[in-house]
C-alpha cells in the first residue's frame, strides 16, 4: 500500500527541486559554443598533431555594455567545417587558417 504524501514531504521535494540547480551550477552550453567545439574536434581528427583544438576559443563570455566575447567560429562556420571531408579541409588549408586565429579573430570556412 502506498503512503500518502504529507505536507512535509511535499515541501521537502519542492525545496530539493529548487536548490538542486544552484548546487550543480549552470551547465548551459550555447549553440555557438557547442558547434565550435564540434568543429574544432573535427579539425583535430583530420589535421592530426599539427592542429591544437584547445587553441580555438569556443568560449562565450557575457560582458557589460555590449562587451560580450563570442566563440571564434560562428554556428554557420562551424557547421561548414563539420560538413567538409578531411581531404577538403586539408585542401582548403583550414587546419592552418583556424589554428592560427588570433585573440578576438573569427574564422571562416572558404
pTM across the whole model: 0.72
Classify residue 91: in a domain, yes or no.
yes
What total number of domains does the chain contain? 1
* Contact residues for 84 (Cβ-Cβ < 8 A; gap 6+): 92, 94, 109
Classify residue 107: in a domain, yes or no.
yes
The DSSP secondary-structure symbol of 92 reads T
Q: Tens digit of pLDDT for each residue in 18-67? A: 444 444 445 688 999 999 999 999 999 999 998 999 999 999 988 787 77
The dihedral over CA atoms of 83, 43, 86, 51, expressed in degrees to the nearest 10, equals 160
Amino acid at each position: 500500500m502506498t503512503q500518502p504524501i504529507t505536507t512535509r514531504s511535499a515541501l521537502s521535494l519542492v525545496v530539493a527541486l529548487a536548490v538542486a540547480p544552484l548546487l550543480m551550477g549552470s551547465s548551459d552550453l550555447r549553440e555557438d559554443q557547442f558547434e565550435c567545439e564540434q568543429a574544432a574536434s573535427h579539425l583535430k581528427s583530420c589535421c592530426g598533431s599539427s592542429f591544437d583544438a584547445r587553441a580555438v576559443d569556443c568560449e562565450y563570455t557575457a560582458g557589460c555594455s555590449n562587451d560580450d566575447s563570442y566563440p571564434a567560429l560562428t554556428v554557420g562556420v562551424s557547421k561548414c567545417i563539420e560538413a567538409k571531408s578531411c581531404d577538403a579541409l586539408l585542401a582548403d588549408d583550414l587546419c592552418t587558417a583556424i589554428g592560427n586565429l588570433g585573440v578576438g579573430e573569427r574564422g571562416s570556412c572558404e
